[in-house]
Amino acid sequence: MYDVYYVTPVRNGVHHIDETIWSIVSQAGTLSLRYHVQDGGSTDGTLDKLARWQDYLDAHGASLPGSVTFSYATGSDDGLYHAVSLGFAQLSPPPEAWMGWLNSDDRLWPGTMEAVTSLGRQHPDVDWILGWPTIIDRHGRFGQIHKTCLLPQEVLAAGLADGTHWRFVQQESCFWRKRLWDAAGGVDISLRLAGDWDLWRRFSRHAPLVHLQAPLGQFRVRPGQMSGNLAAYFEEMEEHEPFAKRQTRQQELLTTDTFEAAVALPSPLTGRWERQLRRFKSAQSDLPPPEPRWRHLLKRTVKGRQQAPLFAPGFSWDAFTYARRSHMRVLAENYVVSATGAPLDIDYCDLKAYQDALVSAFIDQTLPPGSRILEVGGGHSRVLPLYQHTHECWNIDKFEGAGNGATDIPVVDYRLVLDYLGNSNPELPDDYFDLVFSISALEHVPEEETVHANILKDIQRVLKPGGASLHLLDIVRSNIDGSCWMHGIVPYLFRNIETANTFVPLDQFQPAEDLYMLGKTLFDDLWKPTTKKDFEVFGAPSSLTVFWRKPSVML
């Protein structure tokens, strides 16, 4: 008998199969592993690699940290889940043994199986475990980690862990006992994409999902993968459990006091329950949704998104090149932006509050729910939490502290890409985003024209045709001679892209009294502790905007 029985389905996986196999057979600990690779008729060299692994593990498998018995087979199959089923049929695990599968481009974290088997020994009644999901890019570089939120048994059983009502369950981070597999009837081999969603639905009718507070599996994001076809995935779910039925079950759960009370209680095994409950309550449906509760809970709410006429038809972007006090008055009447929920105070307002509110106004008035938004260098973003449940939100930031930015990676409900814009990171899809924006980020990039060119090229690459690019940068007017400092990327952008607004030197701004700049009192309170300079020496900060749209038709 082995402790873990594990399968990898593969077809033409020559590029990553070695990584996948090594991440499994190198699992440290006292466990014993029975591992099988089920090949679907590869023609790209995968079979040669599997034969070499067979020879190596036949000779050395018993001497690895956890003893391994390896096998592989090849033949035609009817898809991923059929291959998984064929693989497990080769193994015949006993009822109490742990099972799992890992696709041929994903990986396990070191120590994963030891953590699972150790928990199983301590809690023999536990049948199903999920760890923290982890994302890696196509090159295997770490992308992000999600500390697991609550996945109640009732939610899973109703099929609500569908990416709309609740977060998906990451298959790479799941392990279960053979007795649960048998009770649920195994995986449905007729499915092509949503077989794991269906399996969790049936598992949860027999056992609760237990969350292990540790990362277990690594899911690789790459172009062309099956899981990227979400439309087909949703169609399969619709065939097995119609959306309307799931929506009805959601409403039934929300009217059950005992369910909501349970979800609201924190637990060391389930993590951040309340945030997930809010997401559940505000999930999209075919009915007009109520005002999302999370906006009020975050106390950063739009009070009247149709009342702020900053971006009414016929407006000119030339009016936004520099921060204006007249804009502040409109934003102050319509936006709650402080941590306490207080409105903007135009006589005591940091530039960041102005910049955040301006971007929020643009999103609210021009981007419908479901639009795709990328923030550049957002760090611990103040804007994306407002839209993460109504729009598809991404943030690219390497978290190296540039420009007094963050160095700790947050746990968030939007997508993080750990890199700098300008590196052509393949995690950012081509022609994808409706809006790329930045707030006080681009003025911290190196003063090198090649860097500026790469950033502009990357923005144009990821913007969809017709997409918007909105960037707010800090500038400083000297208190000594009235000259203006701005980063070199500002003139570069105005020279090299057809912007919607025209650059005007600051000393030619009219009317001069409408220019919004930080005064000495606010500077001393909020900027001096960071800059370590007096207002008279540093100067008066303000904000400059650059805006353009990618042409709808590229010539």
Mean pLDDT per segment of 10 residues, for the chain of length 555 residues? 94 92 84 95 94 89 77 94 96 96 93 90 92 83 68 88 83 96 96 93 93 87 64 86 86 67 42 47 40 31 44 80 84 52 58 86 85 92 85 90 74 83 90 95 95 97 96 93 93 96 89 85 81 89 95 66
Q: Where are the alpha helices (DSSP H) in 265-368?
A: 273-281, 293-298, 325-334, 351-366
Domain hosting 268: range is 125-290
67 and 132 co-located in one domain: no
9 and 103 co-located in one domain: yes
* SS3 track for 123-136: CCCCCEEEEEEEEE
- What is the H or E stretch that residue 394 is in? strand 392-396
Distance, C-alpha 96 to centroid of its chain: 35
Last residue of a domain, one of 233, 262, 290: 290
Task: Say how many domains are in the chain.
Answer: 3
In this predicted structure, what is the pLDDT of residue 523? 84
Q: CB-based contacts of 122: which residues, under 8 Å, 6+ apart?
A: none
**Helix, coil or strand: residue 377:** coil
- Residue 381 within a domain: no
151 and 239 co-located in one domain: yes
Q: 175: which strand partners? A: 129
Can you read off the two tokens belonging to residue 392?
């598809």
CA dihedral 291, 293, 297, 301 (to 10 degrees): -20
267 and 324 co-located in one domain: no
In this predicted structure, what is the pLDDT of residue 366? 87
Rounded to a whole number of angstroms, the distance between the first and last alpha carbons of the chain is 64
- Residue 320 within a domain: yes
Q: CB-based contacts of 199: which residues, under 8 Å, 6+ apart?
A: 184, 186, 187, 188
In this predicted structure, what is the pLDDT of residue 288? 33
Last residue of a domain, one of 256, 290, 324: 290
- Residue 411 within a domain: no
- Residue 114 within a domain: no
100 and 158 co-located in one domain: no
Last residue of a domain, one of 290, 314, 336: 290
- Residue 342 within a domain: yes
303 and 448 co-located in one domain: yes
143 and 70 co-located in one domain: no
Which residue in the block uniquely carries the two structure tokens 């006589």? Answer: 347
Q: Where are the alpha helices (DSSP H) in 125-242?
A: 153-157, 178-184, 195-203, 230-240
pTM of the model: 0.51
In this predicted structure, what is the pLDDT of residue 149? 59
- Residue 402 within a domain: no
Judged on CB neighbours under 10 Å (0-12, 13-18, 19+), 530 is: exposed
Cα distances from 144 to residues 354, 417, 465, in angstroms, run: 30, 7, 28
CA angle 174, 179, 182 (to 5 degrees): 95
Cα distances from 72 to residues 51, 59, 210, 434, 523, in angstroms, run: 8, 16, 31, 45, 67
- Residue 115 within a domain: no
In this predicted structure, what is the pLDDT of residue 333? 64
248 and 304 co-located in one domain: no
- Residue 120 within a domain: no
What gap in Å lies between CA 46 and CA 12, rounded to an integer? 6
In this predicted structure, what is the pLDDT of residue 519? 82
249 and 168 co-located in one domain: yes
What gap in Å lies between CA 54 and CA 231, rounded to an integer? 38
What gap in Å lies between CA 465 and CA 480, rounded to an integer? 45
Q: CB-based contacts of 311: which residues, under 8 Å, 6+ apart?
A: 361, 362, 365, 366
In this predicted structure, what is the pLDDT of residue 297? 29
The CATH number of the domain where 58 resides is what? 3.90.550.10
Say if residue 511 is preceded by a cis peptide, omega within 30 of 0.
yes
Q: CB-based contacts of 95: which residues, under 8 Å, 6+ apart?
A: 177, 178, 179, 182
48 and 7 co-located in one domain: yes
Which residue in the block uniquely carries the two structure tokens 């924190």? Answer: 266
Can you read off the two tokens belonging to residue 80?
């991923």
In this predicted structure, what is the pLDDT of residue 76? 92
285 and 320 co-located in one domain: no
334 and 446 co-located in one domain: yes
Which residue in the block uniquely carries the two structure tokens 């899911």? Answer: 219
If one counts every other C-beta atom within 10 angstroms of the C-beta of residue 510, the result is 8
